Amino acid sequence: MNIQKILLTCFCALILSACSTKDYSPDVYKKYTAKQILKNGEQALSKHNYNEAVKYFEAIDALYPFDPEAQQGQVDVIYAHYKAEDYASALASASRYIHLYPEGKHTDYAYYMKGVANFDKDKTLLQRLYPRKQENLDVSNLQAAFINFGEFLKRFPKSVYAKDAEKRMHYVRNLLASHELYIAKFYFDRKIYVAAVNRASYIVQHFEGAPQIKDALRIIIKSYRALGIDKQANDALRVFQLNFPKERV
């Protein structure tokens, strides 16, 4: 089984290597107008030729930076990079658009795509094949996505992307809360109560509305009791009873 996994990994690496694009110069598109290049890029995008689409959109930016098509190309290249699973380039392109057009027609989309790119950044092919265990998770990209979506919703609450961003933000919130709860339980089970309280308190303070808050409060109460700190235990108990009157600690 291990040999099969190794062979599959090597095969995937070869495929990805074969699909990589060669260096090119935007000068090859000089004979086309900005409108023609944009049209060609959007056609490549519709045919799922994402790396080819990126070339067209970047060519517009290089050859016709002051034409109206340049701004549209800078929007389209964000999506092309994202669909090519080049999330770092999608993030960079989105940030660049925001810097150039802070009040632009598609600035809300650029902010939204920063969250989406970070949301999917860890979903590489190998990670789909070999999911990591909870204790080994690096949640930095999810944390970035949570911040991105929060900033987007604050700036553009009425955007057409707001509903999806809110759903994604809630999903990320629950993932992050689950991760923190796992660590809090890890410390509690090993009687490292101060660390358990700190992790559980972080959930309560930063992930309002998350279903993991109930168990986080239980850990706080039990940890304070184990430490002999009755006042804080009773304070946490009151919060628990107020929010979960039908539940037992």
Q: Where are the domains of the chain?
A: 179-249
Q: Which residues are CB-contacts of 178 (< 8 A; sequence separation ≥ 6)?
A: 134, 212
| pLDDT classification of 212: cutoffs 50, 70, 90 | very high
Tell me the per-residue pLDDT of 21-51, one tens digit each, with 9 for 90 and over: 446 688 888 899 999 999 999 999 999 999 9
Quickly tell me which residue has 């039990």 as its tokens: 222
Tell me the per-residue pLDDT of 88-107, one tens digit each, with 9 for 90 and over: 999 999 999 999 999 999 99
* DSSP codes joined into one string, 180-216: HHHHHHHHHHTT-HHHHHHHHHHHHHH-TT-TTHHHH
In the chain, what percentage of residues exceed pLDDT 70? 85
Tell me the per-residue pLDDT of 134-148, one tens digit each, with 9 for 90 and over: 555 778 999 999 999
179-249 belongs to which CATH class?
mainly alpha
Secondary structure class of 84 (helix, strand, coil):
coil
| Environment class of 10 (CB within 10 Å of its CB; exposed 0-12, middle 13-18, buried 19+) | exposed
End-to-end CA distance of the chain: 44
Tell me the per-residue pLDDT of 161-209, one tens digit each, with 9 for 90 and over: 999 999 999 999 999 999 999 999 999 999 999 999 999 999 999 999 9
Q: How large is the C-alpha radius of gyration of the chain?
A: 24
Q: Which of 208, 114, 100, 99 is nearest to 153 (CA)?
A: 114
Q: What is the mean pLDDT of residues 56-60?
A: 96
Q: Which residues are CB-contacts of 111 (< 8 A; sequence separation ≥ 6)?
A: 94, 98, 148, 151, 152, 155, 156
In the chain, what percentage of residues exceed pLDDT 90? 80
